[in-house]
Amino acid sequence: MKKLIVFLFIIILITTGLFIVDRQTERGLIGTLEYTLLPDPMATNFYDAGECTFYVFNKVKANGEMIETSWRNAEFWAARAKTDGYTVNDEPAEGAILQTSRGEIGHVAYIETVNEDGSIDISEMNYREPYEVTERTITADRIDEYAYIHPKVNPRPKEMKAQTQNSA
């Protein structure tokens, strides 16, 4: 029984010490531990190279945001994004994902710009053929034909690790 009490006392002391130290650092010790132990959710692109999903994943990642790696074909993205707690609506925004279920397996594209006239400029891969990146404008009168998925902020982008190591 004494060993159990001593063990619990030591655990309480260590935990208290961690919280005190956590408040003394800019990022926080707990934040640093969490970052080290939990991987970057965007570290690996599991979508098929040359496809629209692969391209959009990389565009979102480059913007410091995140989407899930398990949405599979583009036709499922809006429904699965909504299930995963992402905002999916009819409002295009710069950095959002345009999604349609039309076509054999659907299609996604990255919104580069929302223009003053209500049109949007998108970039995409595999609109014509695999690996080909194209850009086009969707006119304002066609905006409502698509769903728009709004990525979340990536809590642990890989670049942060390099910044943390360089500042140490």
- Whether 78 and 144 share a structural domain: yes
Q: Is the pLDDT of residue 128 over 60?
A: yes
Tell me: do 62 and 95 sit in the same domain: yes
Sign of CA dihedral 139, 67, 77, 47: positive
Kindly state whether residues 107 and 73 are assigned to the same domain: yes
Over residues 101-125, the mean pLDDT reads 97
Q: Does residue 109 carry a pLDDT above 50?
A: yes
What is the Cα–Cα distance from 61 to 157, expressed in whole angstroms?
8
| More reliable by pLDDT, 166 or 119 | 119
* Total-model pTM: 0.74
In one letter, which amino acid is 126? N
The tally of domains found in the chain comes to 2
More confident residue, 102 or 36: 102
Range of the domain at 15: 2-38
Arithmetic mean of pLDDT, 133-151: 99
pLDDT of residue 164: 35
CATH number at residue 112: 3.90.1720.10
In this prediction, residue 14 carries a pLDDT of: 84
- 33 and 59 in a single domain? The answer is no
Tell the burial category of 50 from Cβ atoms under 10 Å away from its Cβ (0-12, 13-18, 19+). middle
For 29-62, what is each residue's pLDDT tens digit? 655 555 556 678 899 999 999 999 999 999 999 9
